[in-house]
A and B are shown apart, each in its own frame.
Chain A
Amino acid sequence: MKLALRELIRRPGRFITATLILTLIAVLLMFLGGLLDGLTRSATGAVRAQDVDAIVYSDASQASFLRSRIEPATRTRIEQLDGITETGGLGVVQLGARVPGNGPRDLADVAVWGYQLAPIGVPDPPAPGLAWADKLLAADGVEIGDELLVGPARTPITVVGWVENTSYNGQSGLWTDVDTWRQVLAANRPDAVLADDVFQALVVRGEGADVDVVNAIEAADDDLLALTVPDAINQIPGVTEQQTTFNQILGVTVVIALVVIALFFALLTVERTALYGVMKAIGARSRTIFAGLVAQAVVVTLIAATIAGLAVIVLDLLIPPGSIPLYISVARIVTSIVLLLFAAVVGCAFSLRRVLRVDPASALGSSQ
C-alpha cells in the first residue's frame, strides 16, 4: 500500500485525468443531491415544521389539505381519546401575492397558513391581518412591514417577521391566525370556504410514540386519516415521485463514477502487467497489489470528492437565495463521498481478476 501511495505522490500526473473526471462527477452528484434536498424542503417545509405527533385529515381527502374537512365534533372526539394532550386547527390556501414595488404581474407565490399550535421556528399566531413570512419571500422583494395583497381579492396581509424552512409545494409560507386565513380563503377561494370552527386538518400532540397517537385516532374513527409527520410529508403530492426520479438520476451518476474508476484502473492494471509480474516474482502477493490499487482509487476519489464538496459549497454561497431550490448540507456531501468511495472500491474490483491472473513467470518470459 505504501508503494501505491508513493506512486500517487511521485507521479500525480498519471492520476490527474481520473481525478478531474471524478471531480466533475462528484460535483454533479452533490449538486443534484442539493437540488433534491432543496426541492423536498421547499415542498415539505411547512409540514416538516409541525411539532406534533399526528396530522389528521378527513378519510376521503387523500391527505390533501384543500379536500379535507375536520368538523368541531370530530375534534372534540379526538381530544377525548386517552393519551391526547393537545390539538390545533390547521389550514392552508395557495395563492399569488402582490408585493409593494413589484409589477402587477410579478406575483410572489405564497401559502397562507392559519394555525393554532406553533410549528418549529414559527412564533405563536400573530394578530389578525399580520403574518410571519418565510424568508424566501425576501428574494421576491418582500421586506418586514410590507403589506402584501393576497389572491385575486387582494386581501391585505402585513409581514411582521421572518421564519425559515416553511415552504409548501414550492410556495413560501405566510403564517397567520386562523381568522385571517379564513378571510383569505373566503375572499379568494369561495369554492373552498369553511364554516367557523371547521378546519382542513388537525394537528395532535399526545403521550407516547407518534405511531401510538396515530393508531389511537385511526381506531377511534373510520372517517379519519391520521398520519405521522414523516408519513404526511410523503403524502404531499409529487414528493415521492420527485425523490424517486432524483434518486434514480443520482444512482446513474454513481454508476457512471463506478464505470470511470473501473475503466481507469483496468487500464492502469494492463499498463502495469509487466511491473506486477516482476513484483510477484520478487514476492508480492496479489492481495498486496490489489490493496495498492484500491488505496489509489480511494485517495483519488477522496481528493475529487473533497474538491467537489468545496466547489458546491462555494456555488451555494454564490447562488442568490430563492433563485433555485438548492440546499447543500454536510449530510448530503458526506453521503455523496461515501457513495463515491463505494463506487471506487467496487470499480477497482473489476481489476482484481486481472491482477490475480498476472503470472510472475512473465517477468522471466516463461509464461505459457
Chain B
Amino acid sequence: MTNPALHMSNVRKVYRMADTEVVALDHAELTVASDEIVALVGPSGSGKTTLCSIAGGILSATEGSVVVGDEEITSYNDKQLTTFRQNQVGFVFQSVNLVPFLTARENLLVVDELGRRQGKPARQRADRLLEELGLTDRAKNLPSQLSGGQKQRVAIGRALMNEPKLVLFDEPTSALDTELGMQVMELIRAEMKSRGTAAIVVTHDERITTYCDRTVHIIDGVLAA
C-alpha cells in the first residue's frame, strides 16, 4: 500500500496577537491518498488557506504532526521547508502570479532554476508539460500575451514541474468565468489523475467539488468530513 500524499494529525495553528490568541486551525485531522483530489470548502476566514499553507510547508503548525509523502515536516526549520517546497509540493495561486517578464516556458523552468537545477531534463519536462497543457504554440509568449485560461494552465504546469507528491490549488477558478473555470477544473482533474498526484482544491464554489473525489468542509478552523 502506498503512503498517503498527506497526513495531518491533530494539527493546531494559533496566532498570537498581543494578549489574545486566534485559533486558525483546531485539531485538524486530514489524510489525502496518493492520487486523491480533495475539495476544501469553507467561508472566508474559516482556515482553508491556513490548512493549505501548513500542508505545503509555507507555515508551521503550532501543534500536531504533518507528513507529506514520506516526509515528516512538522519540526522543519525555514531552510528545510524551502527545500521541501522546491521538491515535494506544487502551488497554483488564486491570482495566478506568473513571473511577468518570463515566457510561459521560462515560468515553468523557474522552478528548476530555484531548486534542483537539472538543466536539460527540466527543459524536456517543461516542453512535455506545455504540450500536454496545449500551450506548445504559446511557449514563447509572456503572461501579458496569454488569456486568463492560458495563464492558469501555465500555473498548473509550473506546479507540476517538480513532480510533486501534492499540489495545492488556492481558488483556482475564482478569476475565471464559469465556463473557463469548469474547463480548468477538468484539466486539473485529468492532469492529477494521469499522474497519480494528490491535490487539495480550496474553493468557495460548491460546483467545483464535482471534479473532486471528496469534499472536506471547514468552519472556524474545524474540519468536518
What are the nearest 10 A-B pairs in CB distance? A283-B86, A366-B49, A278-B97, A10-B101, A284-B114, A366-B53, A283-B115, A283-B114, A283-B85, A7-B101
**Within 8 Å of chain B (Cβ to Cβ): is A317?**
no
Q: Within the assembled complex, what's the spacing in Å between the Cα atoms of A2 and B87?
A: 20
B87 to A, closest residue via Cβ: A283
**Within 8 Å of chain A (Cβ to Cβ): is B50?**
yes
Partner of B110, one of A282, A285, A365, A368: A282
Partner of B59, one of A2, A283, A366: A366
Partner of B93, one of A3, A7, A364: A364
Contacts of B168 in A (CB 8 A): 364
Q: Within the assembled complex, what's the spacing in Å between the Cα atoms of A275 and B97?
A: 7
Q: Are B114 and A279 in contact (CB under 8 A)?
A: yes
Contacts of B146 in A (CB 8 A): none
Partner of A364, one of B102, B114, B170: B170
Instruction: Encode B128-171 as 1/0 by CB contact (under 8 A) with A.
Output: 00000000000000000000000000000010001000001010
A278 to B, closest residue via Cβ: B97
Contacts of A10 in B (CB 8 A): 101
Q: Within the assembled complex, what's the spacing in Å between the Cα atoms of A278 and B92?
A: 10
Instruction: Encode A324-368 as 1/0 by CB contact (under 8 A) with B.
Output: 000000000000000000000000000000000000110111101
23 A-B contacts (beta carbon < 8 Å):
A2-B113, A6-B106, A7-B101, A274-B97, A278-B99, A279-B99, A280-B82, A281-B58, A281-B85, A281-B93, A282-B85, A282-B111, A282-B158, A283-B115, A285-B79, A288-B114, A360-B58, A361-B53, A364-B52, A364-B93, A364-B168, A366-B59, A368-B15
A residues contacting B by CB (< 8 A) are 2-3, 6-7, 10-11, 274-275, 278-285, 288, 360-361, 363-366, 368
Contacts of A288 in B (CB 8 A): 114
Q: A3-B113, A275-B99 are in contact. Are A365 and B170 (CB under 8 A)?
A: yes
Q: Are A366 and B50 in contact (CB under 8 A)?
A: yes
Give the interface centre of A2, A274, A280, A283 by most chain B CB atoms within 10 Å.
Answer: A283
B residues contacting A by CB (< 8 A) are 15, 22, 24, 49-50, 52-53, 56, 58-59, 79, 82-83, 85-87, 91, 93-94, 97, 99-102, 106, 110-111, 113-115, 158, 162, 168, 170
Q: Are B53 and A285 in contact (CB under 8 A)?
A: no
Q: Are B49 and A283 in contact (CB under 8 A)?
A: no
Contacts of B99 in A (CB 8 A): 3, 275, 278-279
Q: Within the assembled complex, what's the spacing in Å between the Cα atoms of A284 and B91?
A: 13
Contacts of B56 in A (CB 8 A): 281, 364
Q: Within the assembled complex, what's the spacing in Å between the Cα atoms of A288 and B117?
A: 13
Q: A283-B85, A283-B114, A285-B82 are in contact. Are A6 and B91 (CB under 8 A)?
A: no
B159 to A, closest residue via Cβ: A282
Q: Within the assembled complex, what's the spacing in Å between the Cα atoms of A361 and B51?
A: 11
Q: Are A3 and B110 in contact (CB under 8 A)?
A: yes
Give the interface centre of B56, B79, B114, B168 by most chain A CB atoms within 10 Å.
Answer: B114
Give the interface centre of A2, A6, A360 by most chain B CB atoms within 10 Å.
Answer: A360
Shortest distance between the CB of B91 and any CB in chain A (Å):
5
B84 to A, closest residue via Cβ: A283
Contacts of A279 in B (CB 8 A): 99, 110, 114
Q: Are A283 and B111 in contact (CB under 8 A)?
A: yes
Shortest distance between the CB of A276 and any CB in chain B (Å):
11
Shortest distance between the CB of B200 and any CB in chain A (Å):
12
Partner of B97, one of A361, A363, A366: A363
Contacts of B97 in A (CB 8 A): 274-275, 278, 363
Contacts of B58 in A (CB 8 A): 281, 360-361, 363-364, 366
Q: Are A283 and B82 in contact (CB under 8 A)?
A: yes
Q: Within the assembled complex, what's the spacing in Å between the Cα atoms of A274 and B162?
A: 22
Q: Within the assembled complex, what's the spacing in Å between the Cα atoms of A52 and B14?
A: 79
Shortest distance between the CB of A9 and any CB in chain B (Å):
9
Q: Are A11 and B110 in contact (CB under 8 A)?
A: no
Shortest distance between the CB of A282 and any CB in chain B (Å):
6
Q: Within the assembled complex, what's the spacing in Å between the Cα atoms of A10 and B93?
A: 24
